[in-house]
C-alpha cells in the first residue's frame, strides 16, 4: 500500500502544484520518488512529529495540501493536540498518513501496535478516515482526498498487500464497496475497513461461505447517518478490523444504529482482543492471538 501511496502522490503532485510531503525522518526507500521529483515541496521535519504537524498546518493555511508521513502511532497519538487544535479545528487540508496500521509492525512491540488509532481519529468532528483495503483502494482514496481537501487520516498497511479489485474503484465517504458478491441468496455480509480485507475474504472461504464481502475505505463522524440504509439490506453484518473493539470501526457502526435497536441486532463485531497489547510477534501471529483467525 505504501508504494501505491507514493506512486499516486507523485502523479497527483504533477497535476497539483500545492501538494507537499512532510516526513518525520523516515520513509526512506519509499519517499524518494517524491523527494527527487519535487524537492521544493518535500520537507524532513526530523524526529519531531508534533512540530511536523504544526508545520503542516501552517503550510496548509497558506494554500498547500500537506501529507505528513510516519509510522502508525507517531503522527497520531504523539500529535493529538496539534491534530485537534491546528488541523481539525481549523479544517485545514492536512492528510495524516500512518504506515503500518494494525499489527503490521508487531515485531517491534506495543509502541508500534496501531490498534487504538481509529478511536482517536474518529472523535475529531472534521476528520475523514481513509482506510483502504488494498493498493487500488489506496489510489482511490488518494484521488478523493485531493479532490476534497480537508482534515483526513490515511491508514496504510506496511507493504506487499495483495490486490483484490480489478480496477481503481470509485469511493465515497460512508459508501460500502462490494468486493465479493453474495452467493445462493445469502443475505449476510462481512464488512471491513483497512488491511483486514484479505482476512475477510479468507473467512468467507472457510467459515462464512456464500456471504458478501464489502469494504468501507472512507468513513467519519459525519457519515454515520448513511449506514442504516446499507445495514438493512443484510440479515447480518459482521465487521472485521485490526483494532481494539472499544472505539473501533465496529463500535462506530453500532453507534450509527443508536436509535434503531432492531438494526443494531444485525451487527456482530470482530476485533482484536486487548491481550495483544502485551504480545510481540509477526502480524499473522498477533492477528491470530487477537482473535482474527
Predicted pLDDT at 137: 97
Helix axes 135-147, 2-15, angle to 10 degrees: 30
At 28, is the pLDDT very low, low, confident or very high (cuts 50, 70, 90)?
Answer: confident
Report which DSSP code applies to 1. Answer: -
For the ranges 206-215, 254-263, 275-284, the one whose mean pLDDT is highest: 275-284
Predicted pLDDT at 185: 85
The pLDDT of 142-152, averaged and rounded, is 98
- Give the pairing of strands 212-215 and 177-180: antiparallel
Predicted pLDDT at 208: 81
The pLDDT of 221-248, averaged and rounded, is 95
The CATH 3.40.50.970 domain(s) of the chain lie at 2-156
The pLDDT of 11-22, averaged and rounded, is 98
Predicted pLDDT at 284: 93
Least confident of 3-12, 23-32, 53-62: 23-32
At 161, is the pLDDT very low, low, confident or very high (cuts 50, 70, 90)?
Answer: confident
Percent of the chain with pLDDT over 70: 100
Give 131's strand partners. Answer: none
At 266, is the pLDDT very low, low, confident or very high (cuts 50, 70, 90)?
Answer: very high
Predicted pLDDT at 92: 98
Residue 293 vs residue 276, higher pLDDT: 276
At 95, is the pLDDT very low, low, confident or very high (cuts 50, 70, 90)?
Answer: very high
104-144 per-position pLDDT tens digit: 999 999 999 999 999 999 999 999 999 999 999 999 999 99
**How far apart are the two ends of the chain, measured CA to CA in Å?**
22
Beta strands across the sheet bearing 267-272: 177-180, 212-215, 188-192, 236-244, 267-272
Question: What CATH class does 2-156 carry?
Answer: alpha beta
pTM recorded for the entire structure: 0.96
Predicted pLDDT at 160: 82
**Cell 493536540 belongs to residue:** 81
CA angle 181, 184, 186 (to 5 degrees): 70
**Residues found in the chain:** 293
At 80, is the pLDDT very low, low, confident or very high (cuts 50, 70, 90)?
Answer: very high
At 260, is the pLDDT very low, low, confident or very high (cuts 50, 70, 90)?
Answer: confident
Cβ atoms of residues 55 and 22 within 8 Å? yes
Cell of 216: 468501507
- Topology, domain 177-289: Rossmann fold (3.40.50)
Amino acid at each position: 500500500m505504501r508504494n501505491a501511496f507514493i506512486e499516486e502522490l507523485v502523479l497527483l503532485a504533477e497535476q497539483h502544484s500545492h501538494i507537499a510531503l512532510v516526513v518525520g525522518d523516515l520513509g526512506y526507500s519509499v519517499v524518494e520518488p517524491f523527494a527527487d521529483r519535487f524537492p521544493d515541496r518535500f520537507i524532513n521535519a526530523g524526529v519531531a512529529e508534533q512540530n511536523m504537524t504544526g508545520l503542516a498546518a501552517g503550510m496548509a493555511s497558506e494554500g498547500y495540501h500537506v501529507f505528513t508521513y510516519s509510522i502508525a502511532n507517531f503522527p497520531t497519538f504523539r500529535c493529538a493536540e496539534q491534530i485537534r487544535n491546528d488541523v481539525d479545528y481549523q479544517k485545514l487540508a492536512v492528510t495524516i498518513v500512518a504506515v503500518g496500521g494494525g499489527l503490521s509492525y508487531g515485531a517491534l512491540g506495543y509502541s508500534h501496535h496501531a490498534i487504538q488509532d481509529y478511536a482517536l481519529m474518529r472523535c475529531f468532528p472534521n476528520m475523514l478516515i481513509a482506510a483502504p483495503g488494498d493498493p487500488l483502494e489506496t489510489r482511490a482514496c488518494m484521488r478523493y482526498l485531493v479532490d476534497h481537501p480537508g482534515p483526513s487520516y490515511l491508514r496504510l498497511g506496511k507493504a506487499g498487500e495483495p490486490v483484490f479489485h480489478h480496477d481503481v474503484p470509485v469511493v465515497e465517504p460512508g459508501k460500502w464497496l462490494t468486493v465479493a458478491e453474495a452467493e445462493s441468496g445469502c443475505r449476510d455480509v462481512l464488512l471491513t475497513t483497512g488491511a483486514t480485507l484479505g482476512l475477510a475474504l479468507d473467512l468467507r472461504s472457510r467459515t462464512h461461505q456464500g456471504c458478501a464481502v464489502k469494504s468501507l475505505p472512507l468513513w467519519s463522524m459525519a457519515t454515520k447517518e448513511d449506514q442504516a440504509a446499507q445495514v438493512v439490506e443484510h440479515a447480518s453484518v459482521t465487521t472485521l478490523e485490526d483494532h481494539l473493539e472499544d472505539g473501533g470501526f465496529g463500535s462506530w457502526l453500532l453507534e450509527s444504529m443508536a436509535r434503531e435497536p432492531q438494526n443494531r441486532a444485525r451487527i456482530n463485531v470482530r476485533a482484536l482482543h486487548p491481550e495483544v497489547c502485551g504480545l510481540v510477534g509477526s502480524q499473522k501471529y498477533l492477528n491470530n492471538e487477537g482473535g482474527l483467525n
